[in-house]
Amino acid sequence: MALAEGVLQLIEDAAHQQEFKKVTTVWLEIGQLSGVEIEAMSFCFDAVTRDSIAAGARLEIIALPGSGWCMACSETVPMTELFGECPQCGGYQLQVTGGTEMRVKELEVA
């Protein structure tokens, strides 16, 4: 719920700065390793945006893949979990390089 409230705050701040009155679509990027449950975010977004500038707005989720750099084999590899093994060498010395983010990518406004 707190994440959805944070997204609404970003939308309201943008509306104040750019002087728009209604948001019709929100594109939200969510990384596979971010720990954000997409279904929960969708539900909470609908609940939080009622009676706001984004009431009834469509939420479009863009899922971003996880990636990391393996210190053992010096390869950039896809990651599906934070503490998993390297798909190349089987090692566990992975440093996450992508997929932990959550950000508002774009707003469609009226």
User: pLDDT tens for residues 69-82?
Assistant: 999 999 999 999 99
Start-to-end Cα distance in the chain: 26
Digit-coded pLDDT (tens) for 82-93: 999 999 999 999
pLDDT above 90 for 110: no
**Sheet containing 66-70: which strands, arranged edge to edge?**
75-79, 66-70, 94-98
pLDDT above 90 for 66: yes
- Prediction pTM value: 0.85
Chain-centre distance of CA 33, in angstroms?
10
Specify the residue for token string 């594109």.
27
- The fold adopted by the segment(s) 2-65+98-109 is hypothetical protein PF0899 fold (3.30.2320)
